């Protein structure tokens, strides 16, 4: 959250930023707001888990701060019950192995989703997000150009882990 705020401040952008814990309640409220507004961007930093029978799950928090997993089927039903995501302009799904989760959000109307194909370290996820939002705010780039610029910039980073893991970020746009 601090990195995102810093990127927006450094860019001189007047974009509003609201930060909170990723819970079913906060996601429900966001989807309600999204039905009445256009152009919202959702940045979801979370974990994901894989289960042999249940598939992939998005790990949110419960009211006590403990893990609350929304399995693939539950997430699909949850998003379907809230009228879709056509008013969310972009979702940055900052979780490991989020490519499969991204497909659920796309199927429910989110036109642009950033996700990862593999596991990425938290440092890589933060640095990529910081670079992406900075590119987007400073240059007024398209989402695709901001994603491409971020990948190119971090490919040459002296941190070899970051330079390698940046290749795991993928962009889906309709």
Per-residue pLDDT tens digits for 53-72: 999 999 999 989 899 999 99
Q: What is the pLDDT of residues 118-154, one digit of tens each?
A: 999 999 999 999 999 888 888 777 899 999 999 999 9
Q: Within 10 A of 15 (CB to CB), how many other CB atoms are there? A: 12
pLDDT band at 158 (very low <50, low <70, confident <90, very high): very high
Strand blocks (E) in the chain: 40-45, 47-51, 55-61, 67-71, 88-94, 112-116, 169-173
| Spatial contact of 104 and 72, defined as CB atoms under 8 Å apart | yes
Residues shown for the chain: 174
């Amino acid at each position: 959250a601090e990195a995102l705020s810093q990127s927006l401040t450094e860019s001189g952008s007047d974009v509003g930023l609201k930060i909170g814990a990723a819970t079913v309640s906060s996601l429900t409220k966001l989807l309600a707001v999204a039905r009445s507004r256009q152009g919202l961007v959702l940045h979801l930093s979370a974990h994901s888990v894989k289960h042999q029978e249940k598939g992939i799950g998005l790990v949110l928090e419960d009211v006590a701060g403990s893990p609350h997993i929304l399995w693939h089927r539950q997430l699909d039903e949850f998003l379907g019950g809230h009228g879709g995501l056509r008013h969310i302009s972009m979702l940055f799904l900052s979780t490991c192995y989020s490519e499969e989760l991204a497909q659920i959000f796309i199927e429910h109307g989110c036109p642009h989703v950033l996700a990862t194909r593999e596991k990425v370290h938290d440092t890589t996820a933060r640095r990529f997000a910081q670079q992406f939002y900075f590119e987007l705010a400073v240059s007024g780039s398209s989402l695709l150009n901001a994603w491409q610029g971020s990948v190119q910039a971090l490919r040459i980073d002296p941190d070899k882990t970051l330079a390698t893991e940046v290749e795991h970020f993928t962009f889906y746009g309709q």
